[in-house]
């Protein structure tokens, strides 16, 4: 009894093997042509261009959103609402990482390092109420009361006898410890020291002395725009 039937010519065979041999020898070419004749989905010629434009628009929109969200989070003023400067020194486990290298200059229009007098040690602020966190985040780093995070993933966290601290010296003032950490908003001609080290007072004093004094050479002492 023939149980296997060819779908093309309806010929019947008594085994699956015999059917396969028949199809391969008699109908293989016809089946391939039939497969090639199937209608294919055709996309508009400009579809890829539209897709690229849509992707770019999405990326730009996300960047704009992030920028607006970041500045509104801290109630930052309009760009150009101030122009002040501060000197900063950063020591991590006894190693000074300032001056900051040029590849980190001007990563944010609101607050940044740049060249000129004190290149890599003077912070320029171009809008009111800009915290230090925005400066470091713009460079791929982070800073809070517990840890200082470099952009390579290395972190320096308060542990054991080593502590992360921030000290500030206002113009004509004395060095004092600040507890604002990443939320600190510097004043014109401030000196700032971020130090991750043990409680060695002698080392701390040397670090304070090493903080540069170039902010006054950069500052135009402009009043904030109204």
Contact 184/123 with Cβ under 8 angstroms? no
Tokens of 43: 């996309």
Structural domain includes residue 36:
no
Asked if residue 156 lies in contact with residue 145, where contact means CB atoms within 8 angstroms, the answer is no
- In-domain check, residue 182: yes
Structural domain contains residue 104: yes
Is 20 part of a structural domain of the chain? no
Dihedral (CA of 116, 120, 125, 126) sign: positive
**Domain membership flag for residue 94:** yes
Band of the pLDDT at 15, cuts 50, 70, 90? Answer: confident
Domain extent for 171 = 84-218
Residue 11 has pLDDT above 80, yes or no: no
Angle at 133 between CA 130 and CA 137, to 5 degrees: 115
Question: Is pLDDT of 39 > 90?
Answer: no
Mean of the per-residue pLDDT values for the chain?
83
In a domain, 72, yes or no: no
SS3 content of the chain, % helix, strand, coil (to 5): 35, 25, 45
User: Within a domain: residue 207?
Assistant: yes
CB 112 within 8 Å of CB 86: no
The whole model's pTM is what?
0.67
Which is nearest to 212 in space by CA: 184, 192, 188?
Answer: 192
Distance of CA 19 to the CA centre of its chain: 64
Whether residue 46 lies inside any domain: the answer is no
Query: Which residue from 169, 21, 162 is spatially nearest to 88, judged by alpha carbons?
Result: 169
Q: Give the chain's domain count.
A: 1
Tell which wins on pLDDT, 105 or 75: 105
Q: pLDDT (tens digit, 9 = 90+) per residue, 94-143?
A: 899 999 999 999 999 999 999 999 999 999 999 999 999 999 999 999 99
pLDDT at residue 60 is higher than 60: no
| pLDDT at residue number 172 | 94
Gyration radius (Cα) of the chain, Å: 33
Average pLDDT over residues 157-184: 96
């Amino acid at each position: 009894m023939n149980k296997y039937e060819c779908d093309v010519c309806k010929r019947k065979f008594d085994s699956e093997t015999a059917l396969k041999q028949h199809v391969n020898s008699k109908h293989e070419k016809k089946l391939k042509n039939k497969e090639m004749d199937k209608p294919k989905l055709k996309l508009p010629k400009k579809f890829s261009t539209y897709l690229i434009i849509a992707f770019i628009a999405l990326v730009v929109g996300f960047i704009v959103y992030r920028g607006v969200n970041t500045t509104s989070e801290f109630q930052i003023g309009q760009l150009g609402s101030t122009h002040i400067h501060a000197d900063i020194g950063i020591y991590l486990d006894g190693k000074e990482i300032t001056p900051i290298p040029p590849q980190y200059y001007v990563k944010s229009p609101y607050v940044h390092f740049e060249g000129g007098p004190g290149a890599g040690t003077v912070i320029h602020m171009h809008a009111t109420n800009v915290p230090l966190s925005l400066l470091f985040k713009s460079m791929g780093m982070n800073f809070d009361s517990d840890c200082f995070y470099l952009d390579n993933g290395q972190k320096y966290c308060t542990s054991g006898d080593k502590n992360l601290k921030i000290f500030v010296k206002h113009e004509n003032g004395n060095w004092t410890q600040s507890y604002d950490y990443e939320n600190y908003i510097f004043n014109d001609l401030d000196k700032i020291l971020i130090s991750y080290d043990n409680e060695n007072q002698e080392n701390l004093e040397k670090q304070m002395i090493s903080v540069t004094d170039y902010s006054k050479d950069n500052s135009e002492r402009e009043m904030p725009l109204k």
